[in-house]
Amino acid sequence: MKRTRKLGTLAAAVMLPLSLALAACGGSGSTSEASASAGGSGSSDSLTVWAWDPNFNIAAMKEAEKIYQEDHPDFSLNIVETPWDDLQTKLTTLAQSQQTSELPDIFLIQNNACQKNVINYPELFSDYSDSSVDFSEFPDSVKAYCTVDGKQYGVPFDQGTAITALRTDVLEQAGLTVDDFTDITWDKFLELGKQVKEKTGMPLLSGQAGSSDTIMMMLQSAGASLFDDDGNPTIVDNTALEASINMYKELVDAGVFLEVNSWDEYVNTLVNSQVAGTINGAWIIASIQTADDQSGKWNITNLPKLDGVDGATNYSANGGSSWAISSNANYDLASDFLAKTFAGSTELYDTILPTTGAIANWTPAGQSDVYSEPSEFFGGQKIFQMIVEYGSKVPSNNTGAYYYEARDAVSSAIQEIIAGSDMDDSLKQAQENVEFAMQ
């Protein structure tokens, strides 16, 4: 029986189709030969799923199918490979055309786009009120991405928990160890970065020019946001944002942070020994580990925290996604499947960790033997166990329905400020741009 649980308190807003940029942890690829517009399976023992990245998200879903089949042998999934930008466009189109019967049973959604879609298109979603998913077993910070009016609309999947990853051999040349970078402030990090640059000639960090990833991680580490609780932009007079931008500019000006022009160039700075480390979502580990000659030369630790900012911590996130149940779903089957796999199976996460590198947001998974195994590449550290622990400490923040518009506006402002523009003027213009978009 298909049951719809819609968000009743917010009216659906009409939006033009969007083509949102793929998050680094998302992945690309073409839609599979099966019709990507195929709706829910309509079967009592089958579900249709939309997701992207066959080597990550889809691989995990196939393993979940096998685990659920152990107690439900007639169960099957119809997984339709759908890149995130295509998936977002399909959701928008189906909402505007009121063709909700074309929705799958389950679809993957980028965390930072979840609230926006639920608020603007409530008719596409079922909430988890009547499911058996125990959301107390997920960190508050990741649950918040898909929480609207106190109801949950997504089961968190992949880890966006942020880490500081550092080359221990380079640090040794500067007379330092990873312990010197643990539980520190950004002011101390800048000081140590200057020391590394002086002793080795290498910047500590790198990133894409014009990207606000580092700023957003700094901001969330203090539980701060670009929006208030009512969804109004707070780019102007935002103490945590101003502190983040000031620190970022200091890092760039001191040569501690190397700005590059593209994602590929960023990854190359890591694998080609152009920088001594990075701060990013834990998914960056997969890229770092492609440099076989660097095995044993890396360690991870937590993030620096902002000085003089209320609520500042050493923990943050960047990226991640969640499993949503559509309004067209076989709700009972879809919710039971997710409750017993992505929200209930240590076996699932033990299986997909070595093959996909998908680190669980589901806290009990972090207690398994697989998660406690030392990583040879990262100098014997139990990195997966560490990352799950970090994830449990990430502050929640309000992404808001216009997260991407605000993020883009702040990214432009950062470029102007780095080039010498007045911060107050640039941030005021950024807020006006977001307010215009919201109209």
DSSP 314-383: S--B---EEEEEETTS-HHHHHHHHHTTTTT-HHHHHHHHHHH---BSSGGGGGSTTTTSPBTTTTTB-H
3-state secondary structure of 32: coil
As a whole number of angstroms, the distance between CA 49 and CA 80 comes to 6
Quickly tell me which residue has 């492609």 as its tokens: 290
Separation in Å, CA 280 to CA 55, 215, 314, 315: 21, 11, 13, 11
Return d(Cα 398, Cα 377) in angstroms, integer.
35
Amino acid in the structure at residue 432: E
List, by residue range, all CATH 3.40.190.10 domains of the chain: 46-160+320-370, 162-316+397-438
| Per-residue pLDDT in tens (0 to 9) along the chain, 439 residues | 333 333 333 333 323 333 333 333 333 333 333 434 457 766 689 999 999 988 889 999 999 999 999 999 999 999 999 999 899 999 999 999 999 999 999 999 999 899 989 999 999 999 999 999 999 999 998 998 999 999 999 999 987 899 999 999 999 999 999 999 999 999 999 999 999 999 999 999 999 998 899 999 999 999 999 999 888 999 999 999 999 999 999 999 999 999 999 989 999 999 999 999 999 998 899 889 889 999 999 999 999 999 999 999 999 999 889 999 999 999 999 999 999 999 999 999 999 988 777 888 899 988 889 988 999 999 999 999 999 899 989 998 888 788 889 999 999 999 999 999 999 999 999 999 999 998 8
Say which CATH topology domain 46-160+320-370 has. Answer: D-Maltodextrin-Binding Protein; domain 2 (3.40.190)
Residue 195, pLDDT score: 98
pLDDT of residue 89: 95
Helices (H), 160-283: 168-173, 186-200, 213-221, 239-253, 263-271
Residue 339: what pLDDT?
98
CA distance 166 to 278: 7
State which CATH number among 3.40.50.720, 3.40.50.300, 3.30.465.10, 3.40.190.10 fits the domain covering 162-316+397-438: 3.40.190.10
Give CA–CA dist 214/82, Å, rounded. 28
Angle between helices 346-356 and 57-69 (to 10 degrees): 150
C-alpha separations of 270 from 320, 357, 360, 375 in Å: 22, 18, 25, 18
- How far is C-alpha 89 from the geometric centre of its chain's CA atoms? 20
What pLDDT sits at residue 38?
Answer: 53
